[in-house]
A = this chain, B = another copy of it.
């Protein structure tokens, strides 16, 4: 069994975009360096979206090239359309995260177009990127994959269909995202299996929220189904601007604690990771950072895998 787990720290993007307050660019860079130094090898550093809608991400174009100088970091950026994808490419991103929502209603609210149109947009991005000299990995984040606060129940069959459409459009990897935090372990298993049936190993990761307190239980369900990639946020920051009630990504500190305790290798040094909370807390005094292991202290029985 593969015991390596690939974590993508989405704090600088998904965490900060919803934060109460702005993190200064210099702090952001120092913080990202601390995350990289703690061993996080894949970091979503920002997004190329409207600075009017998401002012916290307006400096992504300045941040990204600086993060590229950090050794061994895979630099991800989010964009929702071709213009943003081109900006991400031109800034030098290694990976583009591109949302495709299963819920048509959420898709309209989130990116201004329906699911099918967003898949078509993905196709045009793939075409454009493939016409360029340098490669850029394209990850489709299949949003509202476990339910939608606007549409309610999202059929598993439809999740698999949208994932398949994204894969056919040329996405290199597929993630299933619990955008509004409705996932539970049985649903995770069901959706992962259906998606694996549709796209095989192209499904590489889960993007989970801790809205209902079930985040790490959902990780466990994903692990059981063979998933070896997870998004998370230091301190459990985050949410979704268009999904009422959604609050908080899964907590990187607790995720690392769980995975390493179970014998999965993340490459992350838990003490250094917890130390990276300080700068975050100082820069965003109005945010309350979550994490069991940071609050209680690393237990004496802990040892990395």
Contacts and interface: CB of A to CB of B under 8 A. Distances in A.
B147 A212 contact: no
A296 B186 contact: no
24 contacts: A152-B300, A153-B301, A181-B292, A184-B258, A184-B261, A185-B220, A186-B261, A186-B262, A186-B263, A187-B261, A211-B292, A212-B292, A212-B293, A212-B299, A213-B251, A213-B292, A214-B216, A214-B254, A214-B258, A214-B292, A217-B217, A224-B224, A245-B299, A247-B295
Contacts of A186: 261-263
Nearest to A220: B217
A185 B217 CA distance: 9
A206 interface: no
A234 to B, nearest CB: 13
A299 B258 contact: no
Contacts of A107: none
A244 B150 CA distance: 43
A292 B217 CA distance: 13
A221 interface: yes
B299 A182 contact: yes
B257 A212 contact: yes
A249 to B, nearest CB: 12
Interface string A149-160: 100110000000
Q: How large is the interface on A (under 10, 10 to 19, 20 to 34, 35 or more residues)?
A: 35 or more
Contacts of A152: 300-301
Contacts of A149: 299-300
Interface string A207-230: 000111110110111001000000
B296 A246 contact: yes
B220 A292 contact: no
A178 B185 CA distance: 22
Given A216-B216, A217-B216, A299-B180, A258 B185 contact: yes
B262 A213 contact: no
A202 interface: no
Interface in A248-291: 251, 254, 257-258, 261-263, 290-291
Contacts of A293: 212-213
A216 B213 contact: yes
- The 5 closest A-B CB pairs, nearest first, are A213-B292, A213-B254, A184-B261, A212-B292, A186-B262
Contacts of A247: 295-296
Contacts of A181: 292, 296, 299
A210 B185 CA distance: 17
A247 B291 CA distance: 12
